[in-house]
Amino acid sequence: MTSIIGKEKKGNTYYYAVRSQRVDGAPRIVWQKYLGTADAIVKRTEDSRPPRPKEAVVCEAGAVAALFRIAQRLELVETIDRHIVKQDQGPSVGQYLVLAAINRALSPKSKRQIGAWYANTSLARWWGFPEESFISQRFWDHMGLVAESVIPAIEEDVTRTLVSKFDIKLGTLFYDTTNFFTYIDSFNDRSTLAQRGKNKAHRNHLKQIGLALLVSGNFHVPILHRTYAGQLNDATQFKVYCGELADALERVTGEPADVTFVFDKGNISEEAFGELRGRPLHFVTAVRCRDFPDLLSVPLDDYRPVETDDWPGVRSHRCETMLHGEATTAVLAFSETLYTQQFATITRELAKCVTKLTDLADGLKEWQAGKRQGSRPTEKSVAKRVAEILSPQHMRDLVKMEITSHSGFPRLRFATDPAALAHLANTELGRNFLVTDHNDWSAEDVIRAYRGQYHVEDAFRDMNQLDFLHFRPQFHWTDQKVRVHAFYCILAFTLITLLRRELFRGGLEISTHEMLDDLATIKEVAVIYPQGTMAHRKDHVTLSRTSKRQKQMIELLDLKSLLPERG
């Protein structure tokens, strides 16, 4: 048993902790430790109380760690650096691009801001580079080392890793295109990619960049991409890329690509069809209903309910049709939900057009009566205005109109065409006409494959999010920089889709927004104590409080070695 005793020395009392036991029948001190005077013991006791912290430094940790772990498993830095030679000094090109990808995935910043963002994340602790390593000029310099010709080769290596380490299947792939408007000046001639065209965000007055994307069937993981000039249409690009992407897939797998391409209507030109048929490629595509009168004539009574409970209100009819001179399988799909939505949209749009035409006709009468002033209308100006009013889809078919002249003033007469509306409803609304060369597939197989096309549309929608994974803004004015920017944006989307897929495989099914929101609230907290205190000499880095689901995510994604332990 330990006790404390005091010993008198020169008038002062000194205290010891002692332990006694009997030795040869007599009590003896067998161990002692000097404690000091009473004042010294009190002072040490007061000093042992935790000092008041000076401040706390909070860093982004959870989401950054999750994406960094996926990048490690994907060997992104090593793959990029294998293709790009750089002196062994400071961060590598691969680290610059991975940083750009993680930043785009979570909180898109300009090159001026990305260094400060990096310094406030756990990446700074893992890599050990100072904030100054990622100033904008160095970022530009390292982006300049990435030749346009090397990007496809890097991407093919990444796809090999996706197949081997993440078990991504390449049997059915989904292809689509989109465009992103830019603020590149009209007189800037350094970019041939940025051109004016029909912008899908209705920003036709701005230059845009086209993006073609091929994604996997499950979780729409990006497989390959291409950037192209903004003025080119979808059919033109598909004719070029269907063969080019097939060649890339052959290099990835080491054998001719036995792949089914699924793509939307507007892509399958005669030239593109010839390219497909000249390779071991299969396809599923939608076609414009009006281009196939033999399919339009099939009555709805011939459609039968699909043999699955996944799509209530869906009927289909399977038959044969000719596509660019070759017999193919057609699956006509009718959806009650789609029909009611389209019918409601058309009748609402028709009502708007009737209102505008009525206002226009009444205005012409007021001109004739001398109740209006200004530029006098002409038949040509009225015809132009009518064309604008009837520009929405189907409206010109549903409204009969006539422009005549009365006493030198144009006059407008119009009427809706109920028979045309009935014909449209009975032949096109609610329908998708699908064509494939898979003659052995059931109607359900074809419909299921085509519905997977929404995966690419989801990908493009996510790339237009305002809070994460934003393709815009892009502060690049040359083709080479634009292509590098597009590349690390695709890498960002790859990291996010793989992250969500890993959680799903672990039994956690949540949306991308939920996943990123949960991970983003996991913070790394460094508690700083005043200099001169005992606590100042120790490392006080901990993790913010985590929920049950956050703990599950940390476990499933193997993040414990990257994150500090909670005290």
Of the candidates 71, 60, 59, the one whose C-alpha atom is nearest the C-alpha of residue 502 is 71
Lowest mean pLDDT among 165-179, 444-458, 493-507: 444-458
Q: Is the peptide bond before 280 cis (omega within 30 degrees of 0)?
A: no
| Per-residue pLDDT at 64 | 95
pLDDT tens per residue across span 290-344: 888 889 889 999 999 988 878 889 999 999 999 888 899 999 999 999 999 999 9
Please tell me the predicted confidence (pLDDT) of residue 564: 84
Any idea where the domains of the chain sit in the sequence?
2-47, 168-329+442-476, 339-427
Q: Which long-range contacts (CB under 8 A, 24 or more apart) does 241-246 make?
A: 241/175, 241/212, 242/175, 242/272, 242/275, 242/276, 242/281, 243/275, 243/278, 243/279, 245/175, 245/214, 246/279, 246/281
Paired sense of beta strands 326-335 and 431-436, if any:
antiparallel
Give residue 349's pLDDT.
96
Higher pLDDT, 201 or 138: 138
| pLDDT value of position 117 | 93
Instruction: Compute the distance between CA of residue 301 and CA of residue 1 in angstroms, rounded to an integer.
Output: 97
| Confidence at residue 309, expressed as pLDDT on a 0 to 100 scale | 79
Asked if 504 and 519 touch (Cβ cutoff 8 Å), the reply is no
Taking only the tens place, the pLDDT of each residue in 141-156 is 898 899 999 999 999 9
For residue range 232-284, what is the model confidence (pLDDT) as tens digits? 676 777 877 888 888 899 999 888 878 898 988 877 878 878 888 878 889 99
3-state secondary structure of 531: coil
Contact 134, 143 (CB under 8 A): no
Confidence of residue 442 (pLDDT cuts 50, 70, 90): very high
Distance of CA 312 to the CA centre of its chain: 29
Q: Residue 509 in 3-state DSSP? A: coil
Percent of the chain exceeding pLDDT 70 equals: 86
Residue 220 has pLDDT above 50, yes or no: yes
- Provide the pLDDT for residue 469: 47
How confident is the model at residue 537, as a pLDDT?
Answer: 47
CA dihedral 410, 411, 413, 414 (to 10 degrees): 50
Kindly state the percentage of the chain with pLDDT values over 90: 44
For Cα atoms 37, 45, 543, give the angle at the middle one, nearest 5 degrees: 155
The reported pLDDT for the residue numbered 464 is 58
Q: What is the residue whose two structure tokens read 């990006």?
A: 222
What tokens does 84 get? 């790009």
Task: Kindly indicate the confidence band of residue 188, based on its pLDDT and cuts at 50, 70 and 90.
Answer: low
- Alpha helices (H) along 278-417: 293-296, 336-368, 379-389, 395-398
Contacts of 550 (CB under 8 A, 6+ apart): 62, 518, 519, 521, 522
CA distance 539 to 536: 8
Tell me how far apart the alpha carbons of residues 87 and 65 are, in angstroms, rounded to a whole number: 27
In terms of Cα–Cα distance, which of 122, 255, 30, 263 is closest to 564?
Answer: 122
- pLDDT by residue (tens digit) across 346-381? 999 999 999 999 999 998 888 877 777 777 888 899
Average pLDDT over residues 115-121: 92
Mean pLDDT in the chain? 84
